[in-house]
Amino acid sequence: MHPQDPKLTLIITGGTLDKDYQTSTGALVFSETHLPEILRQANTTLALNTQVLILKDSLEMTDLDRDDIAQACREADTDCIVITHGTDTMAETALALAENPNLSDKTIVLTGAMRPFRLGESDASFNLGAALMAAQLAENGVYIAMNGELFEASRVMKNRQKGVFELTV
Give me the mean pLDDT over the 102-115 stretch: 97
> Domains of the chain by range and CATH?
8-167 (3.40.50.1170)
This model's pTM is above 0.75: yes
| CA proximity to 126, closest of 144, 113, 142 | 113
What are the tens digits of pLDDT across the range 16-61? Answer: 899 877 777 777 778 889 899 999 999 998 989 999 999 999 999 9
